[in-house]
Homo-oligomer: A and B are copies of this chain.
Amino acid sequence: MYYIGLDLGGTAVKGGIVDESGKIIYKDSIKTAVSDGATAVLEDMARFSLELIAKSGLNIGEIAGIGIGSPGLVDGETAKVIFAPNLNWHNVDVRTTMSAITGLPVYNSNDANCAALGEYLFGAAKGYKNSVFVTLGTGVGGGIIIDGKLFEGNCGAGAEIGHTVIVAGGEQCACGRKGCYEAYASATALIRQTKAAAKLNPESALSDISESEINGRTAFDLAKRGDKAALAVVEKYISLIGEGLVNLVNTFRPEIILIGGGISAEGEYLLAPLRAFVDKYSYAGSNAPSVKIDAASLKNDAGIVGAAALVAAKIKKQ
């Protein structure tokens, strides 16, 4: 059997046909016509799914279903998008519209949840029935696997680990709270921290870079070249990522935590100090089971493969 995975974003829908080993055998993308409304987007996605099947040379009978990774809050049981501000969607019934057109079963979850499931079934968390995936990108997202099953929170409205406060009253977060993990550990937060350090440290190479050119790699690049101010930014940033990871350890005690998103490209330079931080501060120290920290493996394909994993997980259960 094959699975269709659709990664629904605000500007494009990426889609692919994924085989039982998690390999994408065909992929393509379409624009997301957000301004045409939810029904139009869903109809586009349904037709796009049929196209993927046709172009890959498969028969519809070989497709087990369509999995969709959506932004925002998604109720996995009903496949409804409860709330997705990027798309301006409220309580959108994805399953009914798309099943009617394709005749296929349709599953839906939050994109970070899908990525966690993809890593568990097909990636670096394979074999770890208790795992957490954390993506450090524009925001901070996460997905949680408990006892081999995706944990989405009641009605799919949990697992929003980017919106747990680690500095009460701290930096403003887009969600309305102050001090969320996302406001300290995202690439966006790192860029803010880097710009602030550039202003405060005129002797640093950070201040030689124009503000508009500072990105999520700037501080890491200069830290590796020995710039003290950049190193201080990176060390502080990594400790803040670590605080959130230890919170996850003390809450879920997974066997493994995988780090994804743009920042994860730093590899061991990021992971080694994170491991030391988590080992040092996790509750009960060496008296409790240790937690592995590693990079996510699905990279750019995480969206499609993760969405396809929703279908794979459903079939496995039956």
Contact = CB atoms under 8 A, between A and B. Distances in A.
Interface of A: 72-73, 82-83, 90, 130, 146, 151, 153-155, 157-161, 163-168, 175-177, 179, 184, 239-240, 243, 246-247, 249-255, 280-281, 283-285, 287-289
Nearest to A156: B253
Given A73-B287, A161-B250, 4 more contacts: A154-B255, A155-B253, A157-B288, A176-B281
Nearest to A131: B154
A253 B158 contact: yes
Contacts of A164: 164, 247, 250-251
Contact of A246 (B73, B165, B283): B165
A153 B252 CA distance: 5
- Counting every copy of the chain, the complex holds 2
16 contacts: A73-B283, A73-B287, A82-B287, A83-B284, A83-B288, A155-B289, A157-B284, A158-B249, A160-B250, A160-B283, A164-B250, A165-B166, A167-B167, A168-B239, A177-B246, A179-B243
A225 B250 CA distance: 39
A86 B211 CA distance: 53
B254 A289 contact: no
Contacts of A175: 283-284
A161 B175 CA distance: 22
- Point out which of A151, A184, A254, A283 has the most chain B C-beta atoms below 10 A from its C-beta: A283
Contacts of A251: 153, 158-161, 164, 251
A131 B255 CA distance: 24
Given A167-B167, A289-B155, A82 B250 contact: no
Contacts of A151: 146
A61 B195 CA distance: 71
A276 to B, nearest CB: 14
B82 A284 contact: yes
Question: Would you list the 10 A-B pairs with minimal beta carbon distance, nearest first?
Answer: A153-B253, A158-B253, A83-B287, A164-B247, A130-B154, A157-B253, A157-B288, A160-B250, A154-B253, A168-B243
Contacts of A166: 165-168
A240 B168 contact: yes
Contacts of A168: 166-167, 184, 239-240, 243
A139 B113 CA distance: 32
Contacts of A250: 158, 160-161, 163-164
Given A155-B253, A251-B251, A243 B284 contact: no
B176 A285 contact: yes
Given A246-B177, A288-B73, A252 B82 contact: no
A250 B157 CA distance: 7
A200 B291 CA distance: 43
A243 B168 CA distance: 7
A235 B176 CA distance: 20
Contacts of A255: 154
A45 to B, nearest CB: 22
